[in-house]
């Protein structure tokens, strides 16, 4: 992960790369600000994590792109516009970062090596994260753009793009989402319905009586399906709950007894041997 905390603004924007009729098709790396412009108008980025005060005073943007040139130029520009920029080079890294940092907005490349941006967006939404997502892509086809919106995206910008337009679009989606809650009030995970506000769980229409500790474990894992949680990580989540045990396994066993159709063969709360636990659930087939 790379965090950019540059304070000097960068307003220089170059003409569109590859502009004009008859010019060769623009490559994936072409932007309207070159790497030289970004690094000379902004000091070098620092890998020092931002302080809590900086995270509160500057909107946090997660920039996800496998191209280091794009991460450098876009990250430098947005840092100069008073954003704190977090960077991820893969979808897996982005999903982990979203769960820890909760950015105010996400810039997401559509084409990535491990998982495409559309599926990544879908998984982010399934985790209950409602931060606005702006797609970046060389694919300008209408079908791809519509799929992006259908999968939970909020805006779509094709490469090459103008830095000023990118900044304006980020400001616009932040304004539109100023009052959107950070989490969903109700998480639907297979047959389970988890009411976050009222702290209630229903399976197949029947309420399930969970203790506060059991609910906290379930909610923590259900927000991040597929992510492996170590026992220590789960215990950290329970520190402010009364009556929790320093061994998380008994809590897991009681939770399984209540939510699993067959507790001895768990579907939802699965053991990852040598690592901890993860939450899974049956998903509808995505066409």
Distances (CA, A) of 169 to 58, 152, 165: 17, 16, 6
- Residue whose C-alpha is closest to residue 64's, from 86, 33, 31, 34: 86
Do 162 and 198 belong to one domain? Answer: no
**CATH number for position 96:** 3.40.50.2300
Expressed as residue numbers, the domain containing 228 is 186-279
Tokens at 212, concatenated: 């506060």
Question: For each of the chain's 287 residues, which pLDDT tens digit applies?
Answer: 555 544 443 333 333 333 333 333 434 334 444 333 433 333 333 334 555 444 445 789 999 999 999 999 999 999 988 899 999 999 999 988 887 888 999 999 999 888 889 999 988 887 778 889 999 999 888 988 998 998 889 999 999 999 999 999 998 888 887 644 444 567 888 889 988 877 889 988 889 999 988 998 999 899 888 999 998 888 877 765 555 566 889 999 999 999 999 999 999 999 999 899 999 987 644 43
Query: Is 247 contained in some domain?
Result: yes
> Are 111 and 216 in the same domain?
no
Residue 132 is assigned to a structural domain of this protein: yes
- Is 250 part of any domain? yes
* Of 142, 176, 210, the domain-final residue: 176
Same domain, yes or no: 73 and 169: yes
- Which pLDDT score is estimated for 190? 86
Same domain, 75 and 48: yes
φ, ψ for residue 270 (rounded to 5)? -105, 145
d(CA 214, CA 263): 15
Same domain, 92 and 219: no
- Residue 64's pLDDT is 96
Backbone torsion region of residue 36, taken as left when φ is above 0, otherwise alpha when ψ lies between -120 and 50, otherwise beta = alpha
Is 246 a member of any domain?
yes
How high is the pLDDT of residue 34? 37
The answer on 216 and 88 residing in a single domain is: no
User: Do 89 and 120 sit in the same domain of this protein?
Assistant: yes
Shared-domain flag, residues 234 and 96: no
114 in a structural domain: yes
Q: Count CA within 13 A, CB hemisphere, residue 80.
A: 23
Asked, for residue 284, whether it belongs to a domain, the answer is no
CATH at 239: 1.10.10.10
Contact 255, 210 (CB under 8 A): yes
Instruction: Indicate whether 49 and 124 sit together in one domain.
Output: yes
Residue 144, judged by CB atoms within 10 A of its CB (0-12, 13-18, 19+), counts as middle
Same domain (yes/no): 10, 134:
yes
Residue 111 maps to a domain = yes
Inside any domain, residue 287: no
Do 168 and 196 share a domain, yes or no? no
Give the total number of structural domains in the chain: 2
Domain limit, last residue, from 154, 176, 198: 176
- The residue among 176, 202, 224 that closes a domain is 176
| Same domain, yes or no: 40 and 162 | yes
């Amino acid at each position: 992960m790379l965090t950019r905390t540059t304070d000097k603004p960068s307003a220089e924007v170059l003409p569109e790369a590859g502009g004009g009729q008859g010019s060769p098709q623009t490559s994936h790396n072409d932007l309207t600000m070159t790497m030289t412009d970004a690094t000379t108008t902004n000091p070098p980025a620092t890998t020092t994590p931002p302080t809590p005060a900086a995270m509160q005073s500057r909107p946090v943007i997660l920039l996800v792109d496998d191209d280091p040139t794009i991460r450098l130029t876009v990250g430098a520009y947005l840092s100069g516009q008073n954003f704190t920029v977090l960077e991820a080079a893969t979808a897996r890294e982005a999903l982990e970062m979203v769960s820890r940092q909760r950015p105010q907005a996400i810039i997401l490349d559509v084409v990535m090596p491990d998982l495409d941006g559309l599926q990544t967006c879908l998984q982010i939404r399934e985790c209950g994260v409602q931060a606005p997502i702006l797609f970046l892509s060389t694919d300008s086809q209408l079908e791809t753009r519509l799929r992006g919106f259908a999968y939970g995206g909020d805006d779509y910008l094709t490469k090459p793009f103008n830095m000023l337009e990118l900044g304006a679009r980020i400001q616009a989606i932040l304004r539109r989402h100023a009052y959107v809650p950070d989490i969903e009030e109700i998480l639907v995970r297979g047959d389970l319905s988890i009411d976050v506000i009222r702290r209630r769980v229903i399976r197949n229409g029947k309420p399930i009586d969970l203790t506060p500790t059991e609910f906290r474990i379930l909610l923590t894992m259900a927000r991040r399906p597929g992510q492996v949680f170590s026992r220590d990580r789960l215990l950290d989540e329970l520190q402010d709950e009364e009556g929790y045990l320093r061994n998380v396994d008994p809590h897991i066993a009681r939770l399984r007894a209540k939510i699993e159709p067959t507790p001895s063969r768990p579907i939802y709360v699965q053991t990852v041997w040598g690592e901890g636990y993860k939450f899974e659930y049956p998903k509808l087939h995505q066409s």
